[in-house]
Amino acid sequence: MKENPSVSYPLFASFKDKLKPKRSQAQMALSQANVFSRLSWQEIKIVENAVHIRNYGPGEPIFQQGDPGSGMYIIIEGSVGIFLDIPQQSPKQLSKLGDGDFFGEIALLDASPRTATATALENSTIIGFYRPDLMDILKTKPVLGGKILLALSEVLAVRLRSTNGELVKVSRKLESLIETGTNE
C-alpha cells in the first residue's frame, strides 16, 4: 500500500513552519538583485543591516539627473519611472521599474553625475545601498565586500560586452550605409 503524499500531519507541519527561517521583504528583494544574488542568507542579513529602507510618495524624485551618484536602489514595493531631462522639453520616460527591480548600481563604483532622473510613480518602499555602506562592509567584512565587488564587476562586464555588440552592429550599419552612398 502506497502512502498518499498529500496527507498532512498537522503537528509536523506546525514544527516545519516554525523551523522555516522567516525572511523579511528587504531580504527577499536583496536576494533578487544580481549584485547580492550569490550571497548566503547570513550574508544577506549583514547587507540588510547596512542598507537604508526609504519610503517615497507618488511623483517624489529618488535622485535627479546631474546629482553626484552615490548608490543603487532596489524596489521592495511600488514602481519607479526613469526619466531623461531634455532642456526646453518635457522629461522623456525611458523605463518603468517594479517590485524587485534595481537601478543605479554603477554609482556604487563611480561618483560621476546621474545620467537620468528616477521618480516614484506611486507610494513605494525602496532599499538604498550606498558607497559608504559598501566601503563599511569592505572594511569590516572584507570577504563579503569582495563578493559584492565581484558581482558588480560581472554586471559591468555584461554591460561592456553588450555595448561592444551594439557598437559592432552600429559600425556595420554605418559601413553599409557608406557603401550604399558610394555605389549610388
Of residues 36 and 130, the one with the C-beta less far from another protein? 130
Helix residue ranges per DSSP H, the chain: 10-19, 25-32, 41-50, 131-140, 142-183
Of residues 110 and 166, the one with the C-beta less far from another protein? 110
What type of residue is 20?
K
C-alpha cell at 109: 563604483
Tell me, residue by residue from 5 to 44, as one string, x for binding to another protein by CB under 8 A and - for no binding: ----------------------------------------
Footprint on residues 103-142 left by another protein (CB under 8 A): 128, 130-132, 135-136, 139-142
Phi, psi of 58, deg, nearest 5: -60, 130
Pick one of 15, 16, 40, 52: the residue that binds another protein (CB under 8 A). 52
CA gyration radius, the chain: 22
Nearest to 35 by CA among 140, 164, 137: 137
Which residues of this protein are in contact with another protein, per CB under 8 A? 52, 54, 56, 60-63, 66-68, 70-71, 128, 130-132, 135-136, 139-142
